[in-house]
């Protein structure tokens, strides 16, 4: 090995600590870049795979192509793959309970497409006499066809007004359709599949899909096209269609295209990219700091040696090469380690996420893909960072004249004027303080890097921890005071049939308590507004309000709860009145209505919230601010069910306190299968929602805290390098101070003061920046929430303690090293 | 024509009131094979002059020609190459690379030139410098005299035309000083190298062919010993 290389290797191994810390710094930054990029690609891959599973692995679909055109299309060079299927025809399904889906639609698919179907039960068709049926024939159409049965299909064309209709034309009763039989055939049902993608059967398509195998050449094919590269998919499709004479319908697999990045209009993806971009920039900036810092430290330490080398004839090229070699050695160890760590971190995170979010994600599994691109990006970025850091230092090393370098002038040279101490500091902290203060000024540049890395860590910590804080608050706040954990809502009619269904469901053992809300909409006459209400509504005549019945038992409980006798309220209402609004960013709270006359006069509203001018009174004797189960609104008129009977009410919702929301959900879906009428009832599982949201916040906090930890660690390596080498460089000075009689205590005090100066300066900058960051985050969050901004006090305290702890520990470490050394050795070592 | 020619060499530090003319318009020349001693009071500019002669500093003005080459006209890389082939510098405080051992330190100029050191020559040199049993030691494990001998070894390994030594015996006792001087004389006589030594030591000055006295950056006398 060449002597200069040997020189580098020796230097690195002699300064083991610094070398290790630098390698750790490089490693952490590469790991972080790799992890962030890896997460993004894993997410993307997951979404792409999900889209492929859910919608199919294709970019464009073209419907009902004639044979002769198909050949032409297949010749297009941009196409990677074409999969064919055919809508063979319709068959009447008289028993269908869904009036918009009166048919079965037979589809013939080639083998590969069949394999993409999601089998629920049974197997796929293996010949042209077997079919699989879609699950929703039963769940939606209410027809129970079993595996093993044979059905006879009269495969026909749908004709209306002489036009042939297809799956994309919806069935309406206004237009007469006739079925023109093509052939009939018996098919054996061999399996049940999930409802096919909307490309094959749309929500409104009139026929339930059944699929058979058809490998033959088709007369009228629909094709899924997968391009070699999904970019410019629209143009590519247009070119294909322009080349043929006939006009065909086509559609795009937007979900897949979006995740593949071809259709980037989507905000989620671009947000993901921009957020990770910002994160990567932060990482790179801090990495450049560490790496550059450790290089300039290493160069400073060696500047004298470079001076000697240069004075005995080393060219600046040789010195530059030397420094680059040092970077190379550090990089070749640090980067691969970092990449491995980063990949491992992604691996762990993905699995952790799958574990924590299992419920929330509802079957989607995050996938871990070996992130080739991120690895490449990492290597590239880290190499560039190292290269520039080292070339910068190398240039400096090569630029100084040998004798200057030997004297190490540059680092020590400082104008005496600048070194004037502060009188204040001298009186407070004595000579020790004066020396430390002057030293900070002398090493301004290094001191600055230390402070900057501390500031970066502090700022990120404070702002991100309030991000997490707000996130948890949001997730919890919303569910905090709910007296229910499950809600049902009826179909569009909201009529008494719904009430019947609700009552049936209420029999479930999984329900502890429930409240069915029946409502009418009214407008309160303006003269009943209180002063507070008048100020809010100004001159408006439209004071919309709801009259609500909450169920007999609930009503009685509610009346008792507010300390009244239920009997008294059979024909009277209770006014819920606790209104809050924001005025000039200030929360104002009060009662909207004036009930001095013990009544409210109301104008009934119709479905479109128009006044019907049916005016009536409701006796009100009691005003309360406590809402019954399910009511989130701050105002409302609560009446008994008996009273509600007089009105043409709507059945809005049923609020449920369940002991087992998951079980309740299952019960509901089995109800839906046995009776399609339940199909129109929707639900919200708040317990599950809350759990998912908390899990989501948990995952996000794991990410963010991990991120904070690594960024801080990078900062710590940086600080470690700066402080220890700074101490090293000053060893001689320390030894001298001691040799002229500074006691150990005085000396330690001086060093401690120095760390306090470091700490205070970085906190003074970092805390306000962190607060600004946290305020911006609050702003972003508060759009959807009523939350007052709170200074992130805890985070500030933690950051403060942390900063002093870190600096203290590092100082202590280097002090120990210095104190162990013999005074004379130190002085002798540093001879010029 | 001398092997070293100095013309109107000036080096000043600082500006205005603080301006120090460390080397103030010095001209002289040295012939090949001469052994020259430079003496003068502390702060008179000796080290500065020597650094300028060695091409490790930059003059404010004036020229230094070695073997006819105006060294400050060279680009810095060429100057470095010129230095390692033609100039050997010995510093008052040795300036060895602390992490390289004796042998490696001595071999440096050669290795920098991309050449391998002839092991016989290295052995020879270590023998002469009495460093044979110390060749694997690091500089901080050596005495001052030993370190100085290493730096002499480093200066003569490439057989430079000119050797420059800045108070090479300043930190040594008289016995060690004598040894150092004898090495310098040896290389001067044996290899016909030109040697320029800064010294406070009367003895060295007496043994030199020529003594140049400097005061306040100027040559105040230039005498030949007979
Ligand atoms: N880097 C510098 N900046 C400013 N002034 C300098 C610098 N180096 C040397 N000087 C000044 O130049 C003058 C000559 O210094 P030089 O080191 O050449 O003296 P010297 O003759 O070698 O003294 P000594 O015998 O003590 O080594 C001195 O007055 C010194 O103060
Ligand atoms: Mg001197």
- Report the CATH number that the domain containing residue B184 is assigned in CATH: 3.40.50.300
Nearest CA in chain B to A14: B99
The response to whether residue B45 sits with its C-beta less than 6 Å from ligand 1 reads yes
The response to whether residue B47 sits with its C-beta less than 6 Å from ligand 1 reads yes
- The first and second tokens of residue A153, run together, are 């299909």
- The first and second tokens of residue A27, run together, are 């490693």
State the total domains in chain B: 1
CB-CB contact of A528 with A594 (8 Å): yes
Choose from B14, B55, B95 for mutation: most chain A CBs within 10 A.
Answer: B95
* A794 vs A304: CA distance, rounded Å: 46
- The first and second tokens of residue A461, run together, are 């910590």
The response to whether residue B199 sits with its C-beta less than 6 Å from ligand 1 reads no
Ligand 1, atom 26, lies closest to the CA of B42
* A432 vs A426: CA distance, rounded Å: 8
From chain B, pick out residues whose CB is under 8 angstroms from the CB of A10.
Answer: 99-100
In sequence order, what are the residues at sequence separation of 6 or more whose Cβ sits closer than 8 angstroms to the Cβ of residue A130? Answer: A187, A188, A189, A190, A212, A213
Q: Provide the number of CB pairs (under 8 Å) joining chain A to chain B.
A: 87
CB-CB contact of A737 with A62 (8 Å): no
Q: Read off φ and ψ for residue A770, nearest 5 degrees.
A: -60, -40
- Identify the H or E element spanning A301: helix A267-311
B interface residues, A as partner, C-beta within 8 Å: 51, 54, 56-58, 76-77, 80-85, 87, 89, 91, 93-100, 104, 107-109, 111-113, 140, 154-155
* A812 vs A818: CA distance, rounded Å: 10
When CB atoms are compared, the residue of B57, B84, B93 closest to A832 is B93
Nearest CA in chain A to B50: A403
* A337 vs A24: CA distance, rounded Å: 9
Overall residue count recorded for chain A in this entry:
832
Only one residue has tokens 């120990």, namely A816
Torsion of CA A707, A711, A712, A715, to 10 degrees: 180
The response to whether residue B93 sits with its C-beta less than 6 Å from ligand 1 reads no
ipTM exceeds 0.90: no
- Phi/psi class of residue A450: alpha, beta or left (left: φ > 0; alpha: ψ in -120 to 50)? alpha
User: Given pLDDT bands bounded at 50, 70 and 90, which one contains residue B107?
Assistant: confident
- Phi/psi class of residue A336: alpha, beta or left (left: φ > 0; alpha: ψ in -120 to 50)? alpha
Choose from A298, A308, A312, A398 for mutation: most chain B CBs within 10 A.
Answer: A312
- The first and second tokens of residue B76, run together, are 């810095």
Vertex B44, ends B40 and B46: CA angle to 5°?
70
CA distances for A190 relative to A123, A146, A195, A229, B93, angstroms: 6, 9, 16, 37, 95
- The first and second tokens of residue A284, run together, are 């790179």
**Is B170 a residue whose pLDDT tops 80?**
no
State whether A6 and B108 contact (CB < 8 Å): no
Ligand 2 center from residue A731 Cα (angstroms): 24
From chain A, pick out residues whose CB is under 8 angstroms from the CB of B51.
Answer: 403
DSSP A149: -
* A676 vs A671: CA distance, rounded Å: 8
User: What percent of chain B clears pLDDT 70, i.e. is strictly above it?
Assistant: 99
What DSSP assignment string belongs to A324-336? HHHHHHHHHHHHH
Ligand 2 center from residue A533 Cα (angstroms): 93
Ligand 1, atom 5, lies closest to the CA of B13
* B58 vs B72: CA distance, rounded Å: 7
Ligand 1 center from residue B48 Cα (angstroms): 6
- pLDDT the model gives residue A444: 65
* A595 vs A626: CA distance, rounded Å: 17
* A246 vs A250: CA distance, rounded Å: 12
- pLDDT the model gives residue B63: 94
State whether B109 and A313 contact (CB < 8 Å): yes
The ligand placed nearest to the CA atom of residue B200 is 1
User: What percent of chain B clears pLDDT 90, i.e. is strictly above it?
Assistant: 31
User: Given pLDDT bands bounded at 50, 70 and 90, which one contains residue B217?
Assistant: very high
From chain B, pick out residues whose CB is under 8 angstroms from the CB of A308.
Answer: 95-97
Number of other residues whose CB lies within 10 A of the CB of residue A256? 25
Nearest CA in chain B to A6: B100
- pLDDT the model gives residue A442: 62
Only one residue has tokens 């090393």, namely A397
Ligand 2 center from residue B90 Cα (angstroms): 12
The response to whether residue B48 sits with its C-beta less than 6 Å from ligand 1 reads yes
State whether B94 and A315 contact (CB < 8 Å): no
State whether A831 and B93 contact (CB < 8 Å): yes
In this structure, are strands A579-583 and A586-590 parallel, antiparallel, or unpaired? antiparallel
When CB atoms are compared, the residue of A11, A310, A404 closest to B80 is A310
Q: How far is CA B57 from the centre of its chain?
A: 13
Ligand 1, atom 3, lies closest to the CA of B13
Domain extent for B219: 4-224
Ligand 1 center from residue B45 Cα (angstroms): 6
- Identify the H or E element spanning A545: strand A544-549
Choose from A313, A394, A395, A407 for mutation: most chain B CBs within 10 A.
Answer: A313
State whether A7 and B107 contact (CB < 8 Å): no
The response to whether residue B42 sits with its C-beta less than 6 Å from ligand 1 reads yes
- The first and second tokens of residue A124, run together, are 């796929």
State whether A305 and B113 contact (CB < 8 Å): no
From chain B, pick out residues whose CB is under 8 angstroms from the CB of A311.
Answer: 54, 56, 83, 89, 95
Ligand 2 center from residue B50 Cα (angstroms): 9
* A221 vs A62: CA distance, rounded Å: 9
Listed range (A638-642, A746-750, B51-55, B132-136) with the worst mean pLDDT: A746-750
In sequence order, what are the residues at sequence separation of 6 or more whose Cβ sits closer than 8 angstroms to the Cβ of residue A93? Answer: A101, A102, A103, A104, A137, A141, A143, A207, A208
- Identify the H or E element spanning A453: helix A444-480
* A312 vs A318: CA distance, rounded Å: 12
The number of the ligand 1 atom at minimal distance from the alpha carbon of B41 is: 25
* A400 vs A173: CA distance, rounded Å: 91
Over chain A (832 residues), what is each successive 10-residue block's mean pLDDT? 76 79 82 81 79 83 84 83 87 81 88 84 88 85 84 86 82 80 88 86 85 83 86 84 82 80 57 67 70 70 76 81 84 89 86 76 71 79 79 73 65 47 62 63 66 80 79 67 77 70 82 85 86 82 85 85 82 84 74 83 83 85 80 80 84 83 81 73 77 72 77 76 70 65 68 79 90 81 64 88 85 74 54 36
* A427 vs A425: CA distance, rounded Å: 5
Interchain contact A6–B (C-beta under 8 A) = yes
The number of the ligand 1 atom at minimal distance from the alpha carbon of B45 is: 18
- Taking each continuous run of H as one helix and of E as one strand, the counts in chain A are 25, 22
The ligand placed nearest to the CA atom of residue B15 is 1
- pLDDT the model gives residue A263: 62
Nearest CA in chain B to A305: B97
CA distances for A224 relative to A61, A199, A221, A233, angstroms: 5, 10, 10, 13
From chain B, pick out residues whose CB is under 8 angstroms from the CB of A403.
Answer: 51, 56-57
Ligand 1 center from residue A752 Cα (angstroms): 37
CA distance A13 to chain B (A): 10
- The first and second tokens of residue A713, run together, are 């660690």
User: Which residues sit opposite B7 in a β-bridge?
Assistant: B63
Overall residue count recorded for chain B in this entry:
226
When CB atoms are compared, the residue of B58, B83, B140 closest to A312 is B83
CA distance A3 to chain B (A): 6
From chain A, pick out residues whose CB is under 8 angstroms from the CB of B58.
Answer: 401
Only one residue has tokens 């190298």, namely B193
Residue A129, SS3 per DSSP = coil
The ligand placed nearest to the CA atom of residue B44 is 1
Interchain contact A19–B (C-beta under 8 A) = no
CB-CB contact of A330 with A23 (8 Å): yes
| The dihedral sign for the CA sequence B121, B124, B128, B131 | positive
- pLDDT the model gives residue A830: 44
């Amino acid at each position: 090995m060449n002597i200069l290389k040997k020189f580098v290797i020796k230097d690195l191994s002699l300064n083991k600590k610094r070398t290790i810390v630098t390698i750790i710094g490089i490693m952490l930054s590469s790991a972080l870049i790799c992890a962030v990029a890896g997460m993004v690609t894993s997410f993307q891959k997951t979404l792409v795979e999900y889209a492929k599973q859910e919608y199919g692995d294709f970019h464009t679909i073209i419907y009902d192509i004639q044979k002769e055109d198909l050949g032409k299309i297949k010749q297009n060079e941009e196409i990677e793959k074409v999969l064919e299927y055919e809508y063979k025809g319709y068959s009447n399904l008289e028993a269908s309970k869904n009036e918009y889906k009166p048919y079965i639609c037979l589809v013939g698919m080639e083998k590969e497409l069949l394999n993409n179907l999601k089998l629920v039960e049974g197997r796929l068709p293996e010949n042209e006499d077997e079919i699989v049926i879609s699950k929703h024939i039963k769940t939606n159409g209410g027809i129970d066809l079993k595996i093993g049965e044979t059905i006879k299909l009269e495969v026909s064309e749908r004709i209306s007004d002489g036009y042939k209709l297809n799956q994309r034309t919806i069935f309406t009763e206004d237009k007469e359709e006739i079925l023109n039989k093509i052939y009939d055939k018996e098919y054996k049902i061999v399996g049940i599949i999930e409802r096919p993608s909307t490309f094959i059967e749309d929500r409104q398509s009139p026929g339930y899909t059944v699929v058979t195998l058809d490998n033959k050449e088709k007369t009228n094919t629909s094709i899924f096209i997968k391009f070699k590269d999904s970019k410019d998919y629209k143009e590519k499709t247009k070119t294909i269609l322009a080349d043929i004479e006939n006009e065909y319908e086509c559609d795009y697999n937007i979900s897949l295209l979006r995740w593949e990045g071809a259709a980037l209009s989507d905000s989620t993806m671009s947000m993901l990219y921009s957020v990770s971009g910002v994160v990567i920039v932060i990482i790179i900036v801090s990495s450049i700091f560490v790496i550059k810092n450790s290089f300039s430290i290493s160069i400073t330490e060696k500047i004298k040696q470079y001076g000697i080398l240069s004075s005995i004839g080393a060219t600046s090229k040789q010195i530059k090469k030397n420094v680059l070699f040092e970077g190379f050695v550090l990089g070749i160890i640090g980067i691969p380690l970092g990449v491995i760590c980063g990949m491992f971190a992604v691996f762990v995170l993905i699995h952790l996420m799958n574990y924590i979010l299992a419920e929330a994600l509802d079957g989607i599994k995050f996938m871990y893909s070996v992130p080739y691109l991120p690895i490449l990006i990492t290597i590239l970025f880290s190499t560039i960072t190292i290269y520039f850091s080292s070339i910068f230092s190398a240039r400096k090393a090569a630029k100084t004249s040998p004798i200057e370098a030997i004297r190490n002038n540059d680092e020590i040279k400082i104008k005496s004027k600048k070194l004037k101490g502060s009188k204040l500091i001298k009186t407070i902290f004595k000579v020790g303080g004066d020396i430390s203060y002057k030293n900070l000024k002398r090493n301004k540049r290094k001191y600055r890097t230390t402070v900057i890395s501390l500031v970066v860590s502090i700022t990120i910590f404070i702002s991100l921890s309030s991000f997490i804080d707000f996130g948890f608050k949001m997730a919890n706040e919303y569910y905090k005071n709910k007296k229910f954990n499950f809600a049902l809502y009826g179909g569009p009619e909201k009529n008494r049939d719904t009430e019947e269904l609700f009552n049936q469901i209420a029999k479930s053992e999984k329900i502890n308590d429930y409240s069915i809300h029946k409502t009418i909409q009214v407008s309160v006459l303006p003269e009943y507004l209180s002063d507070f209400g008048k100020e809010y509504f100004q001159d408006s005549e439209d004071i919309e309000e709801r009259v609500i019945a909450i169920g007999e038992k609930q009503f009685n409980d509610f009346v008792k709860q507010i300390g009244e006798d239920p009997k008294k309220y059979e024909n009277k209402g209770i006014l819920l009145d606790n209104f809050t609004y924001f005025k000039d960013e200030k929360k104002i709270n009060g009662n909207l209505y004036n009930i001095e006359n013990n009544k409210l006069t109301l104008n009934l509203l119709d479905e479109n919230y128009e006044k019907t001018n049916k005016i009536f009174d409701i006796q009100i004797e009691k005003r309360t601010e406590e809402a019954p189960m399910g009511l989130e609104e701050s105002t409302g008129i609560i009446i008994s069910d008996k009273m509600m009977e007089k009105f043409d009410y709507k059945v809005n919702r049923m609020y449920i306190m369940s002991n087992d929301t998951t079980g309740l959900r299952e019960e509901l879906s089995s109800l839906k299968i046995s009776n399609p009428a339940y199909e129109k009832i929707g639900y919200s599982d708040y317990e599950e929602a809350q759990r998912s949201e908390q899990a989501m916040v948990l995952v996000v906090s794991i990410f963010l805290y991990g991120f904070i930890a690594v960024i801080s660690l990078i900062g710590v390596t940086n600080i470690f390098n700066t402080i220890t080498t700074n101490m090293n460089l000053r060893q001689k000075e320390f030894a001298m101070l001691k040799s002229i009689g500074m006691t150990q205590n005085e000396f330690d005090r001086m060093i401690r003061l120095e760390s306090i100066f470091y700490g205070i300066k970085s906190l003074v900058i970092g805390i306000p920046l962190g607060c600004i960051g946290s305020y911006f985050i609050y702003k972003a969050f508060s759009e959807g929430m009523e939350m007052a901004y709170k200074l992130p006090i805890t985070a500030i305290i933690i950051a403060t303690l942390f900063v002093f702890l870190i600096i203290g520990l590092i100082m202590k470490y280097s002090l120990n090293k210095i104190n162990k050394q013999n005074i004379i050795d130190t002085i002798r070592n540093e001879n010029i | 024509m001398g092997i070293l020619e100095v013309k109107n060499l000036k080096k000043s530090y600082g500006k205005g009131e603080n301006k120090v003319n460390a080397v103030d318009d010095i001209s002289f020349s040295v012939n090949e094979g001469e052994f020259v001693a430079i003496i003068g009071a502390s702060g008179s500019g000796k080290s500065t002059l020597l650094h300028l002669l060695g091409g490790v500093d930059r003059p404010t003005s004036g020229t230094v020609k070695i073997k006819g080459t105006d060294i400050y006209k060279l680009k810095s890389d060429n100057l470095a190459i010129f230095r390692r082939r033609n100039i050997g510098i010995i510093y008052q405080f040795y300036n060895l690379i602390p992490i390289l051992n004796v042998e490696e330190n001595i071999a440096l100029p050669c290795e920098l030139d991309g050449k391998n050191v002839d092991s016989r020559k290295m052995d020879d040199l270590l023998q002469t410098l009495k460093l044979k049993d110390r060749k694997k030691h690091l500089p901080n494990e050596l005495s001052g005299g030993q370190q100085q001998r290493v730096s002499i070894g480093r200066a003569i390994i490439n057989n430079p035309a000119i050797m420059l030594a800045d108070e090479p015996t300043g930190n040594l006792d008289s016995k060690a000083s004598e040894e150092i001087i004898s090495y310098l004389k040896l290389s001067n006589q044996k290899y016909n190298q030109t040697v320029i030594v800064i010294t406070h030591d009367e003895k060295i000055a007496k043994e030199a062919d020529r003594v140049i006295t400097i005061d306040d950056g100027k040559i105040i006398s230039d005498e030949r010993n007979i």
